[in-house]
Chain A
Amino acid sequence: MAANKILIVAEHAGGALNPSTAKCVTCARAIEDGEITVAVFATDGSSVAAQAAALQGVTQVLQIDNAANGHPLAAVLAPQIAALADGFTHVFGPSTTFGKDLMPRVAALIDTPQLSDIMAVESAHCFRRPIYAGNAIITVKVPADLKIVATVRTASFEAVADGGAASVEKRDVQVDLPTHTRFVEISAASSDRPDLQTARTVVSGGRALGSADGFRILYSLAEKLGAAVGASRAAVDAGYVPNDMQVGQTGKIISPELYIAVGISGAIQHLTGIKDARTIVAINKDAEAPIFEVADIGLVGDLFALVPELEKQLA
């Protein structure tokens, strides 16, 4: 029997498994002598469970169907996960807003510490994680007799490929579920553009775009590139774009192949979100802007002239 039994809480919506789960599996596979189980909480999780069972390295999928699991409420899921965690040495979730909301609640119920944003596995009980907006990396160790609850920093791991064939087992988890927390609605700023967290190319705009209208030149460029569109906090705060487009310490941490920062100064909180980008391009009219210190390719000038020009030349 494996020494390390790892339970991963699947993130999903609308019947689709979120790629963050496949990233957690990659992290879990880095743990020696481990066996990986994925838990799917849903009203009817059959389709999501099948997707999870196809991930390489997964041994078993537990499908916990319950009418109360229709929307992922931490207060409802946590006691079920805590009950399920018996017999597991590790419980992992993604460092998305889903996992960040849920996993600390699980840890407290189990009475064990939680590790946030693990970016590397040193051993089954030793991990590395960023602090101070990624300006320091620490090595953390948890005593071997404690269960490890953690969120996995999704930008640090590639999604595992399909090709697995795990067994799917339906489980009944008997615990009292609270009714004090109720889901009302979710307003997704729907767009046809690629998802910010998984896109290969991301074009981001900052305060300099000046208005919601100003962002149009970025949407247009993004369309040409097949890119997702992101933003700095300043652009979100000013109401140019919705909150789910924010990149940074308190927004999304992303790792695209190409990141194009347009009219963004490069505050440390923003840079935290793009440290793992393969290539960073910066367009800014201020040659002294801190973004140029991290950019692989920099271009100084007025974005309102340069961005349309770039789109044209890409034709």
Chain B
Amino acid sequence: MAKILVAIKRVVDYNVRIRLKPDGSGVATEGVKLSINPFDEIALEEALRMRDRGAAEEVIVASIGPAETQQQLRTALAMGADRAVLVQADAGAVVEPLTAARTLLALVEREKPQIVILGKQAIDDDNNQTGQMLAALWDRPQATFASTIELKDDKATVRREVDTGLETLEVDLPAVFTTDLRLNEPRYVKLPDIMKAKKKPLETVTFTDLGVTPKQQVEVSHYEPPPVRQKGVMVKDVAELVGALKKRGLV
């Protein structure tokens, strides 16, 4: 029975303008809206479509995070995932990409999926690492920044968004994919689905259950705001704009 594993991370919603704690010790997340990382919604949508086309029987969503991550997993179940696994981390604990990848590898070994889909990057830490690390540890192909994934037998043809255009790769399954924004447009969750999702299985496990020792190796010593750009001038017409550009020696 072919399975698809999707990794989702709980992050500050992309619409929130983050604030730093005044003492520079972190980002204020109190009372801030948290959501599924947008790239992971795309990952889940792709998995659901694959399943619904008959390429797999089951879509499993997994997340590593605090107990409250259950909310995002329930949303994923409401979107259509079949079951969810929460690897519970301490509140406030930092899960580095290498630890996330090791944990996902343990789940991969347990569930034996044909396909694993992650977001290309989590929009909080902007790391863009976990999928590639998982593929390395698993010793399987990776096709990152995917904008189309076509499955055929035990292979996938993937178009990737790269700096110079679109690259096409062929990979043998099982494989790891990471999503780019244009892979699909995730569905909206409907109210009846939220009710149905309450009955779907959501399992909670610990790192120890999976035989993983979480490591924090990168020490973050300080958070600061980026330098602010000075507010500029408004010009009233094109002539004035051209004048300003010439004065700065830009044209």
Contact = CB atoms under 8 A, between A and B. Distances in A.
Contacts of B18: 132, 135-136
B59 interface: no
A181 to B, nearest CB: 4
A141 B232 contact: no
Nearest to B224: A137
A252 interface: yes
Given A101-B144, A108-B132, A243-B161, A296 B232 contact: yes
Interface residues of B, number: 81
B126 to A, nearest CB: 5
A116 interface: yes
Contacts of B124: 131-132
B224 to A, nearest CB: 5
A31 interface: no
A281 to B, nearest CB: 7
Nearest to B222: A139
A186 B220 CA distance: 38
A279 B249 CA distance: 11
Given A184-B170, A292-B234, A310-B242, A197 B163 contact: yes
Contacts of B141: 75, 178, 180-181
A104 B120 CA distance: 12
Interface stretch (A32-40, A49-57, A212-220, A298-306): A298-306
A190 to B, nearest CB: 8
Interface residues of A, number: 86
A286 interface: no
B213 interface: no
Contacts of A141: 218-221
Given A73-B169, A141-B219, A142-B217, A299 B96 contact: no
Interface in B105-155: 120-121, 123-137, 139-145, 147
B243 to A, nearest CB: 9
B182 A237 contact: yes
A243 B225 contact: no
A112 B231 CA distance: 42
B161 A201 contact: no
B226 A97 contact: no
Nearest to A310: B238
Nearest to B165: A188
B174 to A, nearest CB: 10
B208 interface: no
Nearest to B122: A131
B50 interface: no
A280 B17 CA distance: 22
A75 B142 contact: yes
B133 A233 contact: no
Contacts of A111: 98
Interface string A262-276: 000000110000010
A199 interface: no
Contacts of A115: 218
A243 B224 contact: no
Given A100-B128, A134-B226, A314 B242 contact: yes
A294 interface: yes
A146 B242 contact: no
Contacts of A236: 182
Given A142-B218, A258-B250, A279-B248, A101 B132 contact: yes
B180 interface: yes
Given A108-B136, A141-B220, A181-B170, 5 more contacts: A108-B134, A135-B18, A183-B168, A188-B164, A250-B120
9 A-B pairs with the lowest CB-CB distances in the bound complex, closest first: A296-B232, A104-B132, A108-B136, A104-B129, A108-B133, A184-B168, A188-B165, A180-B172, A97-B162
10 contacts: A75-B135, A113-B218, A138-B224, A146-B217, A181-B143, A181-B171, A186-B162, A279-B248, A294-B229, A313-B242
Interface of B: 12, 14, 17-18, 20, 27, 96-98, 101, 120-121, 123-137, 139-145, 147, 157, 160-172, 175, 180-182, 217-226, 229-239, 241-242, 244-245, 248, 250-251
